[in-house]
Amino acid sequence: MAFASSLEQSNPQTDLKRGSEMGEKRFNKDMVIGDVLKVDPGAIKVIQKYFGQGCFTCPGMKMESISFGALMHNIDPEVIVKELNALE
């Protein structure tokens, strides 16, 4: 059991902050849309632009990725990710 307790668990919010401090991209197409908004509330503008206002009341927001949402809206997910990563 000591082995299991010594493993460092991953936390998406902490990992993203750590990545952005090192100059890495903060967002990727596999991120859950709800997590994107938790990490950067300013991302609401980008999400609304590509997915519409209905995204914020959809239960899928807590489990669907940017990639899945982009597929459902016929959008290239990399366009969304690029715009999210350009946020200050």
Would the pTM count as exceeding 0.75? no
pLDDT at 3: 44
pLDDT at 44 exceeding the cut of 80: yes
Give the Cα separation of 79 and 82 in Å (integer): 5
pLDDT digits (tens, 9 = 90+) for 13-26: 545 554 445 456 78
Residue-range domain boundaries for the chain: 32-88
The CATH number of domain 32-88, selected from 1.10.3910.10, 3.40.50.700, 3.20.20.70, 1.10.150.120:
1.10.3910.10
Confidence of residue 56 (pLDDT cuts 50, 70, 90): confident
pLDDT over 60 at 79, yes or no = yes
State residue 70's pLDDT score: 96
Distance in angstroms (rounded) separating the CA atoms of residues 24 and 37: 18
pLDDT for 7 equals 43
The H or E element containing residue 80 is helix 77-85
Region 1-21: what's the mean pLDDT? 47
